[in-house]
Amino acid sequence: FGRALYWAVGDATFTCPFLTFCYSHVILFSFYSSGPRGEALQHGQSGTLPHFLEEPVDAYIVKSNPIKLRCQARPALQIFFKCNGEWVHQSQHSSQEHTDLGTGLKIREVMINVSRQQVEDFHGPEDYWCLCVAWSHLGTSKSRKATVRIAYLRKNFEQDPQGTEVPLNGMIVLHCRPPEGVPVAEVEWLKNEEPLSSDGVIDTRGDHNLIISEARLSDSGNYTCVASNIVAKRRSATATVVVYVNGGWSSWTDWSPCNVRCGRGVQKRSRTCTNPAPLNGGAFCEGMSVQKSTCNTLCPVDGSWGEWSMWTVCSSDCERQRSRECTAPEPKHGGRLCDGVALATDNCTGGLCTQNRKLLHDAKPQGVENSSDVALYSGLAAGVVTVVLLIIAVTLYRRSQSEYGVDVIDSSALTGGFQSFSFKTSRQANPLLINSSMQPDLTVSRTYTSPMCFQDSIDKELMAERSLLDPLPDLKVKGQKTELCFIVSPGVEERAEYHVMSHPQTFPRGLAPDYRGVSVGTTLGRRSKNLFTPQVSLTPSRPVHKATAVFGHAGGRLVVPNTGISLLVPHGAIAEDTTWEMYMIINQQDSSTVSKDEPEIFLSPAVTYGPPGLDLSCPIAMTIAHCAEVAADNWTIRLKRQMQDKWEEVMSVDEESTSCYCLLEAQRCHVLLEHPGRYALVGEPLNQDAAKRLRLAVFGSADTSNSLGFTLRVYCVDDTPHAFQEVAVGERSRGGRLLEEPKMMLFRGNTFSLQVSIQDIPQLLWSIKPFTTCQEFSFSQVWASDQRPLQCAFSLERYSHSSSQLSCKISVRQVKGEEQILQVYTSVVENEKGVVPFFTQSDCTITSQTGSRAFKIPLSIRQRISATFDMSNAKGKDWQLLAQKLRIDRNLCYFACQESPSSVILSLWEAQHQDSGDLDSLASALEEISKIQSSGITSLGCSREEQDSEFAKLG
């Protein structure tokens, strides 16, 4: 009955669940007390209140999806939810019941759904909440309150991070306040779309701010604040952070030498804004990059003779003497010594001297006095005629010898010098033990050394004549040629000063000086060879680089100025009594690739030397500048010769050959050749790391059509003197100024293009033509250029005439490669005095030097060295040891095939050291050899004292 009443009452009173359960509780309690024991055990042991195994938890409603709240308790007769102080109707409950197998107690579980609408309709002082109430026969238990909230995340950040520019090592602070949301959004930072990791330098505070206490260059980038919760993810505006570096001046360079050799001149020093260089918009260095100062150089004073002294008393030899001194004035500061003799001798008896202590006229009989007078005067007349003829003969002989430059015994006339020095100390040792540190007595004489850009006014006149620039075929000329007399001025600086005395007739015999524009043929020697020199077609828009000179048995040097191209003709290479007019021409290539089917490119200009039928007895040395980066083994470099419009391989610089020799250096290659022709260095890249050097230069000039305009021209050319000279010549013709020292960059064969852009233009003072701030050269234009300068121009315009200063940066970079920055800081109204010079030395047009003065090693010493080292000894070939010590011991089989290996080795050394003129390496090598083979080298064809004297000069 009690059970029936329970269900009846319970089913009839849904609207009052609490009262229903009060009744049922009373009834059940009575029934339990009076009924069977097993019936009561269904509801648990006595003294046990409901215990919650699971309580409702806080929840969020996402969008319109309802959430479930769950309760579980034991023992429990019934469980109901109560939300916001009101009971949830039983129909909204979902319950289930099962028995705990361990204890046998009933476990009841109840769930309800809470919708978004329910939460939104609730208006109370606190959040929407629910709890569970569980009943047992002993009483009730309540669970914890669980809140239900509607989750959301606003779209707009309360504070977005702001971009900033900070100096290097400055502090970066980026503020971020995420949008309002439930639950509260979590924040993370992105840098360049990648999650930002804290590495101990970056601090992300609890207030979501990003702090970097010491900014690094790598901290530059785009930063984004990201806020997210269970509803959505929001991104803030992107903040760009730029870490810039303000420019700093480097140390001043040393003062340059005075730009004049005599009198008042100018010297300068410079510094660059590279310590550090401005970066990422950093400020350019304030102040001037070049300082100039006046300087005074003492002018040379040529010596002059003083008055003759009185004649001395007649000696027993019937001679008297008088003397004079070179003191009116004395030679000073490199001036020339007096010409002529300091001591004069004269017969003091008028030609009548003593014979057996008696006068000649006393010894003669009286009867023949008149006839003896006639004989006397006849003899005197004959003697005078003989002396005159002898003087004429000697003069003609010396002129002939001077014309052909044959001076096999002169060991003092040397470029840079072997003057007859008087040393303060002497060495008594092996003649090959050379002390390179021994200094000459500078009170006696001093020497200069010089690069091959020598000053020679007569050659300037010769090179100005087209008649000597363009060979004329089938022209026979004998004997007569240009006579150059070089006198080395004393000095101690490493610079040469040449004075030229020209012969009155400076053209080959048979040519008039006014034959301008007419081609001149090969100048033939006394054997009168008739050869044909092929004409070279010239491109009118490009300058011709050419040199011509006449060489004889004494040899000499031929130079194409400011191109890095030269030719050394050793002494004896041309037969005696023979002269050749030799020439060198830099040929302009139509393409920089050797052929369409091969990946090879030109690394040097194509150089032709001739004439074609040149007869040589030993190799000549050609020096060619190249632009390959040979520090790494990324190239296969070959020497090629053009034969009938086709380039054929002569040899690879890494291989050995008996027909040719190549000595490859970082910026040039020295080649020993025996056959005239057109030669060039070509390279085949082995991988994408192969690189060639580019020289970058920026020139500027005012816009002639616009008084406010200024044009910047950026050149990217192969890093060879010849390529840059073309740029310099072109810019001179248009009045351009070099605004920054040229720089070098490596351009790699990775197929990526070259980009040139202008940056940091003062926006308030200057404007630039739209869409021209960044320009690009394709890879093929740069990699396989036809030796023509690549140029791009930036047209700028200032807003007013008062804006005379221009500062900006030119960035030249290869995509996925190197980058160089050219700093431009100039005045647009600057005159020529402030222009950066095109070349480190003044432009020269002197192309040749003949005879012994063209060589660093005096001929007499060279001949003795060759004679000694060409001989064999018990320890092997001495010339091999000489090559090893001079670091040119590769491809020794080539030298072994030569008639005089040592002479060829010394010719190669001459070509290698033509600019520095430094004999230390040769002196050191001979000294080492003398220590190694002191017993094998005993003589140089002279006495020990003479050897010491000769090699003391070399030391």
Q: Is the pLDDT of residue 774 over 50?
A: yes
Question: What value does the mean pLDDT take over residues 733-739?
Answer: 89
CATH number of the CATH domain containing 630: 2.60.220.30
- Structural domain boundaries enclosing 914: 856-930+943-954
Under the banding of pLDDT at 50, 70 and 90, the label for residue 597 is: low
Question: What value does the mean pLDDT take over residues 28-41?
Answer: 39
Under the banding of pLDDT at 50, 70 and 90, the label for residue 200 is: low
- 140 and 216 belong to one structural domain: no
- 802 and 789 belong to one structural domain: yes
**pLDDT for the residue 252:** 92
Q: Is the pLDDT of residue 483 over 50?
A: no
Q: Which of 150, 177, 193 represents a domain boundary (last residue)? A: 150
Check residues 833 and 639 and name the one with the higher pLDDT. 639
- 674 and 704 belong to one structural domain: no
Written in H, E and C, the secondary structure of 938-953 is: CCCCCCHHHHHHHHHH
Q: Is the pLDDT of residue 939 over 60?
A: no
In angstroms, rounded to a whole number, what is the distance separating the alpha carbons of residues 507 and 483? 9
- 811 and 902 belong to one structural domain: no
Range in 112-121, 439-448, 731-740 the model is least confident about: 439-448
Question: What value does the mean pLDDT take over residues 703-732?
Answer: 90
- 291 and 222 belong to one structural domain: no
Q: Give the other-Cβ count within 10 Å of 143's Cβ.
A: 22
Query: Residue 16 falls within a domain, yes or no?
Result: no
pTM value is 0.47
Cα 59 from chain centroid?
A: 68
Q: Is the pLDDT of residue 474 over 90?
A: no
User: Per residue in 672-703, pLDDT tens?
Assistant: 999 999 999 999 998 888 999 999 999 999 98
Q: Is the pLDDT of residue 649 over 70?
A: yes
Range in 562-566, 827-831, 875-879 the model is least confident about: 875-879
Q: DSSP states of 589-644 as a string?
A: PS-SBS-TTS--EESS-EEEEE-TT---SS-EEEEEE--B--SSS-EEEEEEEEET
Task: For residue 869, give the H/E element and its range.
Answer: helix 859-869
% of the chain beyond a pLDDT of 90: 31
Most confident of 84-98, 500-514, 527-541: 84-98
Question: What value does the mean pLDDT take over residues 820-836?
Answer: 71
Q: Please give the biggest Cα pair distance in the chain.
A: 206
Q: Where are the beta strands (DSSP E) in 8-65?
A: 51-54, 59-62
- 884 and 949 belong to one structural domain: yes
Q: Which of 235, 266, 297 represents a domain boundary (last residue)? A: 297
Query: Residue 487 falls within a domain, yes or no?
Result: no
**pLDDT for the residue 408:** 33
**pLDDT for the residue 226:** 94
- 261 and 182 belong to one structural domain: no
**pLDDT for the residue 16:** 42
Query: Residue 836 falls within a domain, yes or no?
Result: no
Question: What value does the mean pLDDT take over residues 253-269?
Answer: 88
Query: Residue 376 falls within a domain, yes or no?
Result: no
Query: Residue 361 falls within a domain, yes or no?
Result: no
Question: What value does the mean pLDDT take over residues 703-729?
Answer: 90
Query: Residue 409 falls within a domain, yes or no?
Result: no
Under the banding of pLDDT at 50, 70 and 90, the label for residue 595 is: low
Under the banding of pLDDT at 50, 70 and 90, the label for residue 920 is: confident
Q: Which of 127, 150, 173 represents a domain boundary (last residue)? A: 150
CATH number of the CATH domain containing 165: 2.60.40.10
Q: Is the pLDDT of residue 611 over 50?
A: yes
Contact 50, 134 (CB under 8 A): yes
- 695 and 823 belong to one structural domain: yes
Q: Is the pLDDT of residue 403 over 50?
A: no
Q: What is the DSSP letter of 937?
A: -
Query: Residue 276 falls within a domain, yes or no?
Result: yes
Kindly calculate the radius of gyration of the chain based on its CA atoms and give it in whole angstroms: 50
Q: DSSP states of 778-817 as a string?
A: -HHHHHT--SPPEEEEEEEEESSTT--EEEEEEEEEETTS
The one-letter amino acid code at 364 reads K
CA distances from 358 to 315, 364, 374, 525, 801 (A): 16, 10, 21, 58, 101
- 199 and 280 belong to one structural domain: no
- 670 and 763 belong to one structural domain: no
**pLDDT for the residue 515:** 33
Query: Residue 439 falls within a domain, yes or no?
Result: no
In angstroms, rounded to a whole number, what is the distance separating the alpha carbons of residues 766 and 799? 6
- Burial of 824 (C-beta count, 10 Å sphere; 0-12/13-18/19+): buried
Question: What value does the mean pLDDT take over residues 57-64?
Answer: 91
Residue 321 is encoded by which pair of tokens? Answer: 């003497």
CATH number of the CATH domain containing 878: 1.10.533.10
Positive or negative, the Cα torsion across 49, 53, 56, 58? positive
- 771 and 818 belong to one structural domain: yes
- 156 and 146 belong to one structural domain: no
Structurally, the chain folds into a number of domains equal to 6
What three-state secondary structure class fits 451? Answer: coil
Check residues 945 and 841 and name the one with the higher pLDDT. 945
